[in-house]
């Protein structure tokens, strides 16, 4: 019964423990478990017992996140504050990552989608949505006209280039863009010639993620889960295997990296940066990120990105395996 305390409802949604001495109790704990290595010794650990592992060692291997010793206490406080601010989202995010690590990609994304719809109906998201609407104010400028083709497809023999084509919104991943991208990927999957495909974003960045005006507009959260499951761009992109490459430029935020992380070859430009901000909205990644990102960089580093909402730059993304190369692009 004491394990109930370590949950969003029990008042302790996050535990900070010594990584070298911690052993998870036999009873289930929903709290986010952060293991710390203040000395930088990189002690041997059982990875499954932790959700985040922090160390002061430089260039630590997966699953550790290296933190400058001077900033270490502040980094720990940032993660605990994030979990305490949105305890339901944080603990559900940790559970989804734990479950997803033992599932096939498509199954892990379905688990994520179920959790995402649950959180859309929760008080933490409603609180963020209310604050967002208040900050936005009553006078909202007219939305810019959308391009005729939100995803442009160009073919040159056996090579196809798909371009996210809404640079005025920094390629926000609206439902319309998502559906257009899914349709394009599905057509390529059905193409018997098996063309190679490259996905990029028009303008200065790949994508800043979900369209904020669309958050909170779903009326049927169960139906929203079904739609996400049927039209998952991440699942379709993964199914293309070695046919698919993404070019990641500038901001790659939320679904703007969650989908792209499913590509089997990922190239970043030197100015690319990556961020998962959803937890601060009372949500978790909803475009497949708990599965695609976790397979690229590990679930512990993915949880760190979710809790911290910090940017990682191209060089760190390359070191972690989120991208495979850094190249200048025309």
pTM of the model: 0.94
Query: Do β-strands 273-275 and 251-253 pair in parallel, antiparallel, or remain unpaired?
Result: parallel
92 located within any domain: no
100 located within any domain: no
Of 120, 103, 86, residue with least CA distance to 221 = 120
Same domain, 154 and 59: no
Query: Using one digit for the tens of pLDDT, what is the confidence trace for 69-103?
Result: 999 999 999 999 999 999 999 999 999 999 999 99
CATH of the domain at 283: 3.90.226.10
Same domain, 221 and 284: yes
97 located within any domain: no
Same domain, 170 and 279: yes
| CA distances for 138 relative to 133, 294, 307, angstroms | 8, 39, 31
Task: List the beta bridge partners of residue 35.
Answer: 17, 53
Looking at the 3D structure of the chain, how many domains does it have? 2
Instruction: Spell out the SS3 assignment of 8-47.
Output: CCCCCCEEEEECCCCCCCCCCCCCEEEEEECCCCCCCCCH
297 located within any domain: yes
Query: Using one digit for the tens of pLDDT, what is the confidence trace for 165-188?
Result: 999 999 999 999 999 999 999 999
Structure tokens at 6: 């370590």
Same domain, 41 and 156: no
110 located within any domain: no
18: containing domain: 2-85
Same domain, 187 and 63: no
Task: Give the whole-angstrom CA distance, residue 65 versus residue 143.
Answer: 40
Same domain, 151 and 64: no
Same domain, 297 and 216: yes
Of 186, 187, 182, 113, residue with least CA distance to 151 = 182
Q: Which residues of the chain have pLDDT under 70?
A: 1, 26, 136-146, 330
């Amino acid at each position: 019964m004491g394990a109930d305390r370590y949950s969003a409802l029990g008042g302790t949604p996050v535990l900070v423990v010594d990584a070298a001495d911690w052993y998870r109790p036999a009873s289930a704990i929903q709290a986010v478990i952060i293991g710390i290595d203040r000395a930088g010794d990189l002690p041997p650990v059982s990875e499954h017992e932790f959700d985040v592992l922090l160390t002061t060692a430089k260039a630590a291997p997966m699953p550790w996140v290296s933190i400058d010793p001077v900033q270490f206490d502040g980094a720990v406080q940032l993660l605990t504050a994030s979990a305490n601010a949105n305890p339901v989202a944080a603990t559900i995010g940790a559970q989804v990552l734990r479950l997803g690590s033992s599932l096939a990609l498509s199954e892990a994304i379905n688990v994520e989608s179920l959790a995402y719809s649950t959180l859309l109906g929760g008080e933490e998201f409603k609180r963020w949505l209310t604050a967002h609407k208040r900050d936005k104010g009553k006078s909202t400028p007219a939305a810019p006209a959308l391009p005729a083709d939100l995803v442009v497809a160009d073919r040159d023999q056996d090579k196809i280039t798909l371009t996210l084509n809404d640079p005025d919104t920094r390629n926000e991943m609206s439902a319309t863009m998502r559906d257009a991208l899914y349709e394009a990927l599905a057509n390529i999957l059905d193409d018997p010639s098996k063309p190679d495909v490259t996905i990029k974003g028009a303008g200065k960045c790949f994508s800043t993620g979900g369209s904020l005006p669309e958050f909170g507009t779903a009326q049927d959260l169960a139906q929203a889960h079904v739609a996400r499951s049927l039209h998952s761009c991440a699942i379709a992109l993964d199914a293309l295997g070695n046919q698919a490459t993404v070019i990641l430029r500038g901001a790659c935020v939320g679904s703007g990296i969650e989908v792209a992380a499913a590509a089997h070859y990922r190239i970043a430009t030197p100015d690319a940066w990556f961020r998962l901000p959803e937890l601060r909205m009372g949500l978790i990644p909803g475009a497949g990120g708990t599965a695609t990102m976790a397979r690229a960089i590990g679930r512990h580093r993915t949880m760190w990105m979710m809790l911290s909402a910090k940017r990682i730059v191209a060089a760190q993304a390359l070191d972690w395996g989120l991208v495979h190369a850094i190249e200048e692009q025309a």
